[in-house]
Amino acid sequence: MEKQKTIKKEVTIEGAGLNTGINVKCKFKPASLNSGINFIRTDLPKRPAIKACISNVLELSKSVRHTSIGNDGVEIHTIEHLMASISALSIDNLEIEINGREMPAIDGSALLYFEVLRDAGIVEQDGPRKRFVVKEPIWVQDNNCKLMILPRVADDSLAISYTLDYDHPMIRTQHMSITPTEKFFEKEIAPARTFCLEREVEELKGLGLGKGASYDNTLVVGEDGVIKNKLRFDDEYTRHKISDLMGDLYLLGMPITGQIIGIKSGHVLNIKMLKKIQMHIERGEAGAIKAGSVGPDLSKGELDRETIQKILPHRDPFLFVDRIIEIEPDKRAVGIKNLTMNDDFFRGHFPGKPIMPGVLMVEAMAQVVGVILLAKGERHGKIAYFLSMNNVKFRKTVLPGDQLVMDVEIIKMKLRTGQARGRASVDGNLVCEADMMFYVSKDEG
């Protein structure tokens, strides 16, 4: 199990922001489990905090040339170089105190951020790391700029392929494919600096940007080459685009397993991709059973309704298990549902002669399976997906006043997939039976 990480000791960085030109001091501090990456504005009253996450990303119009986050009018700008380093070091939890609104530009690359955080020491924490595993292609496009993420079949890591193509004589078409390990990032990606074209300089100044830019922290590309500086790599522009991409995507709050393909993409498409990934996550969770984060006491072999609600996300009127009267995690459970005329489905399903819909009997048995699968300690916070049902048979009608008893057993359990057989009865008479298949996610993604 991959564990969360933070830094071992407090470290600092100082410097002027690339766009504001204002000198700021950043203090990086260890953070608690599951807290994420949080920026704290120490220059403002009450020291407001901004979490580095998708919901706090500022409008695309404010971050065409850089990535910014904000909340309630409090903002932090140009965070992508730091976020790329945090991503490469696999840091999950970090507190960043800053006495201004923009991260220091340093030399225009992610390298110093990487070195300072690495030298602070990276320590594991006692909690599992979340990961988004790409299961289907996801893509975004803006004219001839494209960004897509594909599943990886044989590898549990991130791979990036990027193609840069500028309409400029000194920036030829460049392509790079990498697996961004910590060591590779340090040597090959982190040193790559931000750049702009000489013909863009006046436009950027007109937008109020680049007040802290210089030939030392920005590669300015003229018609004859880089002005007053030298390239660190022949394809430094492409490497810097990959650095930005890594930093932006880490605003997801977890690493990604997949193959990323970028073609002329930048911050705008990166953020659009983030939002699309979030939609996929929410869509997946909407069709799944997500376990609670606190494990129940299974020693008594019984679970009341309050405890069941700590395991399952269901609530009235869609919680169909009132009590678990027997349970053996990963093996078997018996649940009951007491039916009354107050149950919503009776008022609309054959109201003249109300009966329980057959599909809800299957759903009730599936919820008992969810309890069996998700009650174990190592599955707290995981998600179970109901994949299929077979051999479904409805034997008798179920009426108001009946007590539905659901006896469910796990027939086969592999690493993350399981097959279950459920039998529901009333007064000892079989009313419904079904075979069900489930998948338990490796992580919350």
Residues annotated as catalytic are 267, 349
Q: Tell which residue, 53, 117, 33, has the closest CA to residue 82.
A: 117
Give CA angle at 441 (440, 445), nearest 5°.
Answer: 155
Q: Tell which residue, 66, 64, 115, 120, has the closest CA to residue 93.
A: 120
Contact between residue 11 and residue 96 where contact means Cβ atoms under 8 Å apart: no
Residue with tokens 């009997």: 361
User: Rounded to the nearest 10 degrees, what angle do helices 80-88 and 111-119 cross at?
Assistant: 50
Instruction: Enumerate the β-bridge partners of residue 4.
Output: none
Contacts of 194 (CB under 8 A, 6+ apart): 18, 81, 105, 108, 109, 217, 218, 219, 240
d(CA 399, CA 412): 32
- Tokens in use for 184? 């590779």
Contact between residue 36 and residue 96 where contact means Cβ atoms under 8 Å apart: no
**Terminal-residue alpha carbon distance, the chain:** 15
Using DSSP bridges, classify how beta strands 288-290 and 74-76 pair: parallel, antiparallel or unpaired.
unpaired
DSSP secondary structure letter of residue 99:
S
Taking residue 123's Cβ as centre, other Cβ atoms within 10 Å add up to: 14
Radius of gyration of the chain (CA): 27
Contact between residue 434 and residue 393 where contact means Cβ atoms under 8 Å apart: yes
Contacts of 390 (CB under 8 A, 6+ apart): 434, 435, 436, 437
Q: Tell which residue, 71, 40, 33, has the closest CA to residue 53.
A: 71
Instruction: Please report, as a single letter, which amino acid is at residue 308.
Output: I
DSSP secondary structure letter of residue 57:
B
Q: Is the dihedral of CA 41, 104, 202, 265 positive or negative?
A: negative
Instruction: Please report, as a single letter, which amino acid is at residue 197.
Output: L
